[in-house]
Structure 1
Amino acid sequence: MMLRSLLGACLGLQCLAMPVCAADINVGIVLSATGPAAAIGNAERNGTVFGPASIAGNKVNYLFLDEASDSTAAVAAMRKLVQERNIDLLIGPTTTPGSFAVIDPAVEFKVPVISLAPVNALVSPVDARRRWIFKTTTNDDHEATPLFAHMKRTGVKELALIGFADSYGDAWSKVSAEISAASGIALIANEKYARTDTTVLGQVLKILAARPDAVLIAASGAPAALPLLQLREKGYAGPIYGTLGATFGDFRKLTGVQGEGIFVPLSPAVGAASFPDNDPAKAAALEFIARYEGRFGPGSRNIFAGSAYDALILLAHAAPAALKAGAPGTAEFREGLRTAIESLKGVAGSRGVYNYGPDNHTGLDQSALVLGRMEKGEWVAVR
């Protein structure tokens, strides 16, 4: 399998000097094991179990701390890992606020970070601070593009948005306003709700009163099911769109037949089997799905585990080059690792093909997502 073959090749590389081979590579992993984002963080943590045990003769240690879905805790966790374990790389945090918060310590300690949060502002523009930050997720505009292209193609003129009342929902409010205007679609309602809410009836009634042609739900996992179910309960029969986060967790189980036909941006990490055979990420994504579901059960695949899994693919590709710059645990190795990640091209992972550069720390582009929908309880690509 692709990742296994890659890691085998890494193990077979000969080190140029014994001092480089003698040191362990320490990888910090700071994710939300508890708190509101725990479902996502624990999926990401599951994705890290497939990392290489060693690279080019150097043992790899994975050091996990829970940031409890809290940005202050994320910073404290990173500082602890740097100061007590001298980490060479940080994977995480889970949330957007946490990922923004660790930029300062990343710059202070000159430690590269592979964030698992989606917002492009984390890595763009690549300046003196963001040069240390990378990510393995698509941007909000990548997700929105196939959705709004379908809306425009099918004659949607007026759209209602309902999303989380946090940075995730705010980012979608911004990108929806921009892309809807460019697409000739009027955004006539924009409602918010908390991830922990048990009803959104008031917001749904406002949306129904606005009489939109379509509704976009900017939410993830099980909480994304709530607006859909209450919209259908109140008689809304129009098209519903979701974000990539809807392909995660219990959304399918909770919505059942009511969720049939919802359109989403689809990642190969979730729907690779329905992707065309010539898709460049299909083979790597199918490998991820087979390995992940072999360990965590049928249907358990998800984009969040895929993001963490891909971060370790990047490490496996980049570390051999970084070892030429210095031994693990040194500033030279960390800078070498940062430079090596920034130089990666054509690296296939579960979520797409990664191409980084001095001005591009996103890695993925629009090709990493296609339009998908739920059909008979499964996420499939729309052809």
Structure 2
Amino acid sequence: MKRTTHQETRAMAFQHRAGRLARGLALAATALLATAAQAQEPLRIGTFLSVTGPAAFLGDPELKTLELYVDRINAEGGVLGRKLQLVSYDDSGDAEKARTFAKRLIEQDKVDVIVGGTTTGTTMAAVPLAEQAGTPFISLAGAVPIIEPTKKWVFKTPHTDRMACEKIFADVQARKLTKVALISGSGGFDKSMRGECLKVASRYGVEFVADETYGATDTDMTAQLTKIKGSGAQAVLNAGFGQGPAIVTRNYRQVGLSLPLYQSHGVASHEYIKLSGPAAEGVRLPAAALLVSEILPANDPQKPVVSSYRKQYEDKFKSDVSTFGGHAYDGLMLAINAIKSAGSADKAKVRDALETTKGYVGTGGVVNMSANDHMGLDLTAFRMLEIRNGAWTLVK
């Protein structure tokens, strides 16, 4: 048997090391290519919104806002070197459609985060899916059950219906009124806000002397308002959103009611004033600073944010801004900030970053979230507004 020489042994060792090096380089190249490919993959922002149907005046500005800012962010280079891709569906306000689209976003489109859910009903249809899949979900709807009890993967941007009740009752109290008549619609938001108002009224010394309801397709509420007229009420609160509150407002004047009328933040848009016409004069409601950006004090921390958003939206779409578009702006920015903070689109890391959001100044207020608070707004985020001469004014 031939003996291996020292030189041959060294040559074989060299070849072995060279082979290992080549394999290592190949693996490194593969990893780099995979990383590069991942870097080129867009960050997918999923959304399902009520762009058509009875809640279109909410969903339409929400979608426009998301499209506007996704385009702007991409034009500026994207996020973490990756472009954003908006994957959107119109649920028309139908909860079953919303559930179907949420499932599609998670399982087929494989989105990194969901920013959507125009109404409480459509949001709640998607909540179990987001929780089961472990997908961060930032809702744009208002009711308390979205975040109470706290759900691991679910967050939201608008003020809650409970906060709206409390802000209204604080104003009622300041006007030294105690007897309030309640009228509400049959939708998910309406029912939730009615329930929350009933829970917190006693804290403000408010007594309900009437509790009337109307259906989603009702076009006349004079019967309910006539009952309220004879109830001894000193003020009236309509817990609702959509077309109903505008009908209530017009009928309110038609039956001769002149008591203070309060509406929910669910109608905080110029569309409500247009639909209600002159009957809206004197109506009060709690809303975000966005609606009165031009008359906010110069030192208000929200003024730069809401003024910039308003200008960009109105310049682009030639239509009035609404708080609902603002909710979508906040949802998108919170998601992007969380992705940046996490350093990736890893869903668990993004969720954790959302939950630890502190000091985000948005259109809805200053957001400080925690493990027990997946909204992060307090009552100071609401401004009490009054309609005067067809325009919003701040109640001092």
TM exceeds 0.5? yes
* Structure 2: distance between partners of 1:291 and 1:114: 23
Deviation at 1:250, TM superposition (A): 2.5
Deviation at 1:105, TM superposition (A): 1.1
Residue number among 48, 59, 77 corresponding to 1:41 in the alignment: 59
User: 2:39 — aligned with what?
Assistant: 21
State how 1:1-383 maps to structure 2 within 5 Å.
Answer: 18=36, 21-49=39-67, 50-51=69-70, 52-53=73-74, 54-126=78-150, 130-298=151-319, 300-324=320-344, 328=345, 333-383=346-396
* Structure 2: distance between partners of 1:178 and 1:281: 31
Count of residues paired in the alignment: 356
User: 1:4 — aligned with what?
Assistant: none
Partners of 1:221 and 1:249 within 8 A in 2: no
Partners of 2:57 and 2:271 within 8 A in 1: no
* Structure 2: distance between partners of 1:184 and 1:291: 43
Which amino acid is the alignment partner of residue 180 of structure 1? A
* Structure 1: distance between partners of 2:394 and 2:312: 22
Which amino acid is the alignment partner of residue 345 of structure 1? K
* Structure 1: distance between partners of 2:255 and 2:99: 44
Which amino acid is the alignment partner of residue 337 of structure 1? V
The higher-RCO structure (CA 8 Å, 6+ apart) is 1
Deviation at 1:278, TM superposition (A): 2.7
Which amino acid is the alignment partner of residue 48 of structure 2? V
1:308-342 residue CA offsets vs partner (Å, 9 max, x unmatched) = 11111112211122235xxx4xxxx1111111111
Deviation at 1:221, TM superposition (A): 4.5
SS at match of 1:75: helix
* Structure 1: distance between partners of 2:57 and 2:273: 15
1:44-86 residue CA offsets vs partner (Å, 9 max, x unmatched) = 1112121222202111100011122122211111111222221
Percent of residue pairs identical = 28
* Structure 1: distance between partners of 2:59 and 2:233: 34
* Structure 2: distance between partners of 1:257 and 1:104: 43
SS at match of 2:111: coil
* Structure 1: distance between partners of 2:52 and 2:351: 29
1:228-284 residue CA offsets vs partner (Å, 9 max, x unmatched) = 211211111111111112322532123333211111112112112222333221211
SS at match of 2:83: strand
* Structure 1: distance between partners of 2:224 and 2:275: 20
Structure 1 length-normalised TM: 0.88
* Structure 1: distance between partners of 2:155 and 2:206: 33
Partners of 1:173 and 1:190 within 8 A in 2: no
CA RMSD of aligned residues (A): 1.7
Partners of 1:189 and 1:210 within 8 A in 2: yes
Query: Computing the radius of gyration over CA atoms, which structure comes out larger, 1 or 2?
Result: 2
* Structure 1: distance between partners of 2:89 and 2:167: 36
SS at match of 2:108: helix
Partners of 2:55 and 2:242 within 8 A in 1: no
* Structure 2: distance between partners of 1:228 and 1:35: 21
Q: Structure 1 stretches (4+) deviating beyond 4 angstroms?
A: 17-20
SS at match of 1:276: coil
- 169-178 or 216-225, larger mean C-alpha shift: 216-225
Structure 2 residues not aligned, in runs of 5+: 1-34
* Structure 2: distance between partners of 1:198 and 1:377: 23
SS at match of 1:280: coil
SS at match of 1:301: coil
User: 1:13 — aligned with what?
Assistant: none
Deviation at 1:145, TM superposition (A): 2.1
Deviation at 1:95, TM superposition (A): 1.5
Partners of 1:221 and 1:248 within 8 A in 2: no
Partners of 1:32 and 1:38 within 8 A in 2: yes
SS at match of 1:216: strand
